[in-house]
Amino acid sequence: SGKLLDEIFKEVKPGLSAYKDPKEAAESLKPLMEAAVKTVPASLRKCTLVALKATAGLRRLGVDQAERHLAAVREYLGQYPFHMEKDAVEIMAGSDEGVFAWITVNQLLGRFNEGAGKTVSIMDLGGGSTQIVFEPSASSLALAPSTQRYTLKMGSKTYELYQNSYEGYGLNRAREQMYEVAAENADPSSPVQHPCVPTGHQEVMQLNGQQYTFIPRPEPSFEACYTYAKQILNKDKECPLKPCSFNGVFQPHISDPQVFSSDMYAFSYFYDRTQLGAPQPELTVADFQERAAKACTAPGTDADKKTHCADLSFMRALLAHGYSLKDSQKLKIAKKIDGFETAWALGAMVTLMKNVKISCS
């Protein structure tokens, strides 16, 4: 299946969806494209693929605005000496986003090589959506709707995957929902007490066209914040096809060894929120509760940490309540594997290269 020899990883912030002007959004990619020009030898640029895959954040702008952004990006990338396919610039389907991340991690771990053992599962937590992808037993996958099954050929082997992208359950959107619950019966002209705001902080948010100021409760409480996190998962929603994870979505029991038995990797915001200070590359589901409780009760004025009570409470709820993982379940929290990024970009590139025939001659 090939081995990744080198990569240049560079990121720019904010993302495209933060820009109102499409031209400005496109031009924000300049540092990335300049890095690409600098890295790729002139003789190979015409046969080097360039692509931009947007995620849930851009979807939330609405179809028309998102398409204006993408059109501006196509025009901008067209000024560079790389090869661009017709569908190179697009909003990814949620199913692709998760599967591309699954390909990345298993590729970096060498799990597509002959005799390499079982593939691993992945949990990717973005800002607007979250994905879970794993290779379950054939009997449990047979129950899944076609929209949640993904057939993938890598080398000589075919993989039958379960995947789901939960729109609206990325970390930023989930946090918003946790505040919306408190705002339902609140008066926006007065500060609203919220258990997810730690002592010493306040959170000002625009919700449903109104501005709310959220302040801490007199007594900090992880349990109260956790209640909001569990509430937005809609675990009680009707489950038309059992078993369900949350919000009425079918998902094989990932905690059942008969369904799935292999390592679990979690990254993106899972990494960003848990690996501050002394990194701990393996955490149990119980560790998320411990960290959330600490974030919810620790007083302070560090602006970078004011969302950590809500964020870690949601992660704990997603894993324990949403996916029904046991407290003892271990998760490998990885930003890199062997020095390479665990993001979905490598998986997208591998897929692109399989489907495009291009020559440098």
Look over the chain and give the mean of its residue pLDDT values, rounded to a whole number: 92
Is the same domain home to 84 and 130?
no
In a domain, 79, yes or no: yes
Pick 262 or 24 by higher pLDDT.
Answer: 24
pLDDT of 232 higher than 80: yes
E strand residue ranges, the chain: 52-54, 89-91, 121-125, 129-134, 149-154, 157-167, 192-193, 203-207, 210-215, 264-268, 282-284, 330-333, 336-337, 340-341
Instruction: Tell me the C-alpha distance between 361 and 357, whole Å.
Output: 12
Q: What's the structural domain count of the chain?
A: 2
pLDDT of 259 higher than 70: no
- Helix, strand and coil content of the chain, in percent to the nearest 5, comes to 40, 20, 45
Is the same domain home to 40 and 153?
no
Is the same domain home to 190 and 45?
no
The encoded tokens of residue 282 equal 């393996």
> CB within 8 A of 313, min separation 6: which ones?
178, 196, 222, 225, 226, 228, 229, 292, 296
Is the same domain home to 216 and 231?
yes
- Residue 300, annotated ligand binder? no
pLDDT single digits (tens) 308-344: 999 999 999 999 999 999 999 999 999 999 999 998 9
The encoded tokens of residue 42 equal 């002139």
pLDDT of 22 higher than 70: yes
Q: For the chain, how long is the longest CA-to-CA vector? A: 70
Query: Beta strand pairing status for 203-207 and 52-54?
Result: unpaired
Is the same domain home to 178 and 290?
yes
- Report which DSSP code applies to 329: -
The encoded tokens of residue 47 equal 């046969």
CATH of the domain at 197: 3.30.420.150
Instruction: Tell me the C-alpha distance between 305 and 328, whole Å.
Output: 27
Element (H, E) at 236: none
In a domain, 40, yes or no: yes
- Residue 130, annotated ligand binder? yes
What pLDDT, on the 0 to 100 scale, is given for residue 93?
86
Last residue of a domain, one of 59, 91, 123: 91
Task: Provide the domain limits for residue 271.
Answer: 93-341
Q: Inter-axis angle of helices 222-232 and 308-316, to 10 degrees?
A: 60
| Helical ranges in 144-236 per DSSP H | 171-183, 222-232
What pLDDT, on the 0 to 100 scale, is given for residue 355?
80
In a domain, 347, yes or no: no
Is the same domain home to 246 and 325?
yes
% residues pLDDT > 90 (the chain): 76
In a domain, 8, yes or no: no
Is the same domain home to 87 and 101?
no
In a domain, 7, yes or no: no
In a domain, 11, yes or no: no
Lateral strand order in the sheet of 210-215: 192-193, 210-215, 203-207
pTM beyond 0.75, yes or no:
yes
What pLDDT, on the 0 to 100 scale, is given for residue 41?
96
pLDDT of 277 higher than 80: no
- Residue 221, annotated ligand binder? no
Helix (H/G/I), strand (E/B), else coil: 14:
coil
Question: pLDDT class for 1, splitting at 50, 70, 90?
Answer: low
On whether the CB atoms of residues 316 and 266 are closer than 8 A, the answer is no
Please, which residues bridge with residue 164 across strands? 132
CATH of the domain at 81: 3.30.420.40
Residues classed as catalytic:
97
Is the same domain home to 68 and 160?
no
Is the same domain home to 134 and 258?
yes
What pLDDT, on the 0 to 100 scale, is given for residue 208?
87
Is the same domain home to 333 and 186?
yes
Is the same domain home to 164 and 66?
no
- Residue 57, annotated ligand binder? no
pLDDT single digits (tens) 162-214: 999 999 999 999 999 999 999 998 999 999 999 999 998 999 999 989 999 99
- Residue 313, annotated ligand binder? no
Is the same domain home to 77 and 104?
no
